[in-house]
Amino acid sequence: MTRPLRADAQRNRERLLEVAAQAFAHDGPQVSMDAIAKQAGVGIGTLYRHFPTREALVEAAYRKELARLCDAAPGLLETMPPDRAVRAWMDLFVEYMSTKRGMADALRAVIASGGNPFAQSRDRLLGAVTTLLHAAADAGSVRTDVRPEDVLVGLGGISLATADPAQAEQAARLLDLLMDGLRHRPT
Amino acid sequence: MTRPLRADAQRNRERLLEVAAQAFAHDGPQVSMDAIAKQAGVGIGTLYRHFPTREALVEAAYRKELARLCDAAPGLLETMPPDRAVRAWMDLFVEYMSTKRGMADALRAVIASGGNPFAQSRDRLLGAVTTLLHAAADAGSVRTDVRPEDVLVGLGGISLATADPAQAEQAARLLDLLMDGLRHRPT
DNA sequence: ACGCTAACCGGAGACTCCTCCGTTTTGCAA
DNA sequence: TTGCAAAACGGAGGAGTCTCCGGTTAGCGT
């Protein structure tokens, strides 16, 4: 299964991603799907076959950049103590989500529908969190009985709840609170 | 300002709320606005004048029940130690949000648009959280430097991020984590 | 009782999302 | 080359959201 795409399909797919990334950056994350399709010179049907939902398109368009976020984790661990690295990465996460506003919505849609369309990025994110948490746990600065999935979903929740740029400080306070929870020693 | 509604407007408003509550309960939170208007025997225009967005309607329809949630706080404080009361109320909050699924979406929309259409319910919720937190702080079981708004938004975030009923356990673990953060003594 | 105006009503219409399916194209096999 | 299925294309259309504005009505002042 998943035989290679036909040449024309491949071309269209790439064109769509290119146009989408540009459109999101230029017109905000709520540009109409029709507009993207038109600009890419394909019909709406084609767009929807490649990306069945708006979220799928957003995810695909941002996948590369999101990978960069994940890849940042090891670097942080090299330049600061593990617990500070965890906290620093959390900031990056929330900042990323609020920059690419469409991302937060996509994230939520996937969370809500327990979706696997996100599986790829999700796994990657989970990997980054796990790495950070393990390092901090080894250093004895966070507890060991917390699941990385929970931390990831928690970060998602904070991003969702503080989507408004005016709430950046509140987001930071919530991250601090989360960190404090992670440091807590169960009695 | 806010002179009393004209008699017919008042009637329509009430009729709409009645029908909406019923429709949400019966057909899920995504029933079409048209359907609600039709069932209430008014035009869509009328519906939208009274409730400018879907979220406003949801909020109004659930306002009473939400008040009950808030009113539950003092009772909890009477029957258990303050910190356990806080935690118990958190469960109620999340459960409520997941029961009235439309509520979570409304909550988010309001958070995102920093809206005051929610102001009424928000104040009430904030009051409940404040009461609980103060009681627990007085008893020395949670720290004193945490803002009730942050806790409320945090609860909202957890609700949003664990909207899927299958994530109930994860929600509980996140609430535990939040509680641990609240208990933490800043060094 | 009766005007009159501010406030309300309601549906047509502009948009968007997404689906469905007849038409077109690709590229393998003969 | 040529034929031909399988795969991809693309737009018409159903459904929904929300806006706009001409028509209607309530209820105050006389």
pLDDT in tens, B30-84: 899 999 999 999 999 999 999 998 888 988 888 888 899 999 999 999 999 999 9
Q: What top-level class would CATH report for the domain B1-51? A: mainly alpha
Query: So what's the pLDDT on residue A98?
Result: 84
Query: So what's the pLDDT on residue B158?
Result: 94
User: Any idea where the domains of chain B sit in the sequence?
Assistant: 1-51, 54-183
Please state, for a pLDDT cut of 90, what percent of chain B lies above it. Answer: 61
What's the CATH code, domain B54-183? Answer: 1.10.357.10
Are the beta carbons of B157 and A178 separated by less than 8 Å?
Answer: no
Angle in degrees, 0-180, between the axes of helices A54-79 and A33-40, rounded to the nearest 10:
90
Give yes or no for B167 touching A (CB within 8 A).
yes
Closest residue of chain A to B98, computed from CA coordinates:
A112
Above 80 in pLDDT, residue B119?
no
From the alpha carbon of B6, which nucleotide's C1' atom is closest? D26
Q: CB under 8 Å to A107, separation ≥6 — which residues?
A: A97, A118, A156, A159, A160
Of A114, A180, A183, the CB nearest to B164: A114
Q: How far is the CA of A37 from the C1' of D19 (A)?
A: 26
User: In angstroms, how far apart are the furthest CA atoms of chain B?
Assistant: 62
Extract the tokens encoding A45: 């049907």
- Taking the CA of residue A145 and the nearest CA in chain B, the distance in Å comes to 11
What are the tens digits of pLDDT across the range A135-186? 999 999 999 999 999 999 999 999 988 887 888 999 999 999 999 999 987 6
Mean pLDDT of B95-110: 77
From the alpha carbon of B45, which nucleotide's C1' atom is closest? C10
Query: So what's the pLDDT on residue A102?
Result: 73
Mean pLDDT of B167-174: 94
Whether the CB-CB separation of A181 and A150 falls below 8 Å is answered with no
Q: How far is the CA of B112 from the C1' of D21 (A)?
A: 31
A186 touches strand D (CB under 7 A): no
Give yes or no for B141 touching A (CB within 8 A).
no
Give yes or no for B29 touching A (CB within 8 A).
no
pLDDT interval class at B163 (50, 70, 90): confident
Give the Å distances, CA to CA, from A85 to A81, A89, A149, A150, B28: 6, 6, 18, 18, 43
Query: Mean pLDDT across chain B, nearest whole number?
Result: 88
Q: How far is the CA of B114 from the C1' of D22 (A)?
A: 35
A145 touches strand D (CB under 7 A): no
Q: What is the DSSP letter of B164?
A: S
What are the tens digits of pLDDT across the range A8-61? 899 999 999 999 999 988 888 889 999 999 999 999 999 999 999 998 898 888
Report the alpha-carbon distance of residue B7 to residue B19 in Å, rounded.
18
Contacts of A150 in chain B (CB under 8 A): 170, 173-174, 177
Contacts of B160 in chain A (CB under 8 A): 108, 157, 160-161
Give yes or no for A168 touching B (CB within 8 A).
no
Q: CB under 8 Å to A174, separation ≥6 — which residues?
A: A158, A161, A162, B150, B153, B154, B157
Query: So what's the pLDDT on residue B118?
Result: 64
